[in-house]
Amino acid sequence: MVVPGAVTSSVGILGERTFGELRGAVKVNPVTRRLAMEKGWQFGTTAWFLLPAGALFALVVEWVWSDSTAPVCALTIVIKNMGKQTIGAILFDLSGVLYVDNDLVEGAVETVAEARKRGLTVRFVTNTATRGFEEIMGRLHGFGFDAAEEELFTAPAAAKQLIVKKGWRPYCLIHDAIKPDFADLDQNDPNCVVIGDARDELNYESLNKAFRVCQDGAPLIGIGMNRYFEGPDGLQMDAGPFIRAVAWASNIEPIVMGKPGGAFFDEVVASTSFAPGECLMIGDDAEADVGGAMHAGLQGCLVRTGKFQPGDEQVIPEGAEVIDSVADLFS
């Protein structure tokens, strides 16, 4: 996958899949083509240029050659970008994309640095619900990433913001690591439920309590909606199945704060100066990362690292890119 910088002489974000379509759309002036055919001239190499990021047009130059060594004429055509919009911002998922557990993905630090070098806006987005905001920032810095607090968007923080905005009193079924982030909220006589990756606390007793609160009319907030994640010893169930269980039993639709929730992606996009279609989400979750982003109007790219499973390429929306690793983003 190639993400363009200011100017590129390749097809760039149009992608190899659309190169043939784009070239096939070039309509040479029929009079010129007939004259060329009558004289036995040949149409030579076409030069393709993309304009600066954000432009929606490509400049095409096709030389018409005779038997001489010099071109007889050049046909200059401006045609609309038939594929995707150019990219102004990149949203990087964390676990599974930039690092896996405690191991840094090779080339990840360099890729983020290259994005900044090309003038692209960078955001870090994660559903991680087993580490607090400051701990996640510390991990990013510890791995060597240049990251600012305003560039990090987490699902737990989004869930708390909603609860504060609504003035709700939550029953928190969340991991011990993020309980301090919710400690300042009034949790007496709860009138909403928030469920995250609470690990062993996701048991019958706690889930049944959540069900009863929701059954009384309280909204259910999910911190992300992932099926599973990549742990140190393989795949592990995430909070998504438990959120779905409580929602199904209560006959309500959960409010998803985090990926793949559209409101979460809207918030991240709003922090940039770009439209959704000019933002690219890089993730290892075909549904929550890529599918969620593209349903929200962003572009999507799936990496074959982290929780990626063979066959995930078949479930991502049409138009999504697939690369082996985040390190291949600019190659």
Domains delineated in the chain: 12-80 (no CATH), 87-331 (3.40.50.1000)
Look at residue 153 and tell me whether its pLDDT is greater than 60. yes
Tell me the per-residue pLDDT of 162-217, one tens digit each, with 9 for 90 and over: 999 999 999 999 999 999 999 999 999 999 999 999 999 999 999 999 999 999 99
The mean pLDDT value of the chain amounts to 81
Look at residue 280 and tell me whether its pLDDT is greater than 50. yes
Secondary structure of the chain as H, E, C letters = CCCCCCCECCCHHHHHHHHHHHHHCCCCCHHHHHHHHHHCCEEEEEEEEECCCCCCEEEEEEEEECCCCCEEEEEEEEEECCCCCCCCEEEEECECCCEECCEECCCHHHHHHHHHHCCCEEEEEECCCCCCHHHHHHHHHHHCCCCCHHHEEEHHHHHHHHHHHHCCCEEEECCHHHHHHHCCCCCCCCCEEEECCCHHHCCHHHHHHHHHHHHCCCCEEEECCCCEEEECCEEEECCHHHHHHHHHHHCCCCEEECCCCHHHHHHHHHCCCCCHHHEEEEECCHHHHHHHHHHCCCEEEEECCCCCCCCHHHCCCCCCEEECCHHHCCC
* pTM of the predicted structure, to 2 decimals: 0.71
Percent of the chain at pLDDT above 70? 74
Look at residue 56 and tell me whether its pLDDT is greater than 50. no
Look at residue 40 and tell me whether its pLDDT is greater than 60. no
Q: What is the pLDDT of residue 39?
A: 52
